[in-house]
Amino acid sequence: MPPLAGASSGKFADHHSFPMTGTAPLLLRAARGEQVERPPVWMMRQAGRYMKVYRDLRDRHPGFRERSENPDLSYEISMQPFHAFKPDGVILFSDILTPLPGMGIDFDIVESQGPLIQDPIRSMAQVEALRPLQPAESMPFVGEVLTRLRQSVGNEAAVLGFVGAPWTLAAYVVEGKSSKNYAVIKAMAFQEPQLLHKLLDHFAESIATYLRYQIDSGAQVVQMFDSWAGQLSPIDYDTFAAPYQKKVVDLVKQTHPDTPFILYISGSAGVLERMARTGVDIVSLDWTVDMAEGLARLPEHVGVQGNVDPGLLFGTPEAIRARIDDTVRKARGRKHILNLGHGILPGTPEENGAAFFEAGKSVMDRLGALA
């Protein structure tokens, strides 16, 4: 295996200076499995369309790639929920497709349509023409934003980085856009598996390089989204998703063994045990599996994130509190990060987002101290 570009000793690059005094952020301590006073809380897609301040910025800067690739805008958007709600985690505002141009795959994100790949990958020649990812050269804005976030929040919150997993990236670049049935990539999987495996392997190495870069730039916890792996049968998950998830995890852990690693799959109830076997530290549950049942299916050493239904945030503050209490009660005694089971939905009342964070931070007042 060729060495990964950007491989490091697992320590921050010398030119970064981060506040290191005092207690580590709550989310980082919890993700490491330390005893904590309460489960930390953040929300997937916490910076986004449900917030008026974001919609106002989007009106001034309508292009998604501008918002995510201009470091000043990405930093500002990443900090919007921190200023509003003080979550325990601040996540980079970006997209799972952001590294693609650095590999030679152009894309755009069209409002109301989603991602569009200009030249979908359909041949071995296209795969062989892909470049190894050099994130410091092709995406310096990501490193800049993560460094600024880390310096800004100090120990008040953990800084999270994230990537898309190889199968999900492949699904986008082969289909050319979002899909309802994934017929194009499944046809490739079953007709030309060698082609697909070569593409997945390229993505695994590049994504590992990208995560190492994010950690060296300031990310303290990282999450991998395999959004579309839930569309695979278990046998095909074992063939086309899990081995490449595991390869990313293994490569990152070689140089950054102490950085907690979260894996999220939408519609993952059928593959929870398989997710745990990839070597991740934390499995992020969606809301289609009961928290207690999900934990019973996962090894004791594997933590859990989630898993409140984002639709609940259209309900009342009382309903939000009751569901958070139920979720945390069922997860007691295990490594747990409170989150939604998917991203917060556009149109969610902003005050209900605030209610979610308030209820999460005060949950132990209602349930009593952790045993």
Residue 183 burial by Cβ neighbours in a 10 Å radius (0-12, 13-18, 19+) = exposed
Active site residue 172: yes
Task: Tell me whether strands 114-117 and 107-110 are parallel, antiparallel or unpaired.
Answer: antiparallel
C-alpha span between 98 and 211 (Å, rounded): 13
Phi first, then psi: what are they for 22, rounded to 5°? 80, -170
Token duo for residue 241 = 């998703």
Of 50, 75, 172, 213, the active-site residue reads 172
Of 32, 49, 122, 332, the active-site residue reads 49
C-alpha span between 238 and 233 (Å, rounded): 9
Of 58, 67, 150, 323, the active-site residue reads 58
C-alpha span between 321 and 317 (Å, rounded): 6
Active site residue 45: yes
C-alpha span between 135 and 207 (Å, rounded): 10
Of 29, 38, 45, 67, the active-site residue reads 45
Active site residue 50: no
Active site residue 60: no
Of 38, 75, 95, 237, the active-site residue reads 95
The residues annotated as belonging to the active site are 45, 49, 58, 95, 172
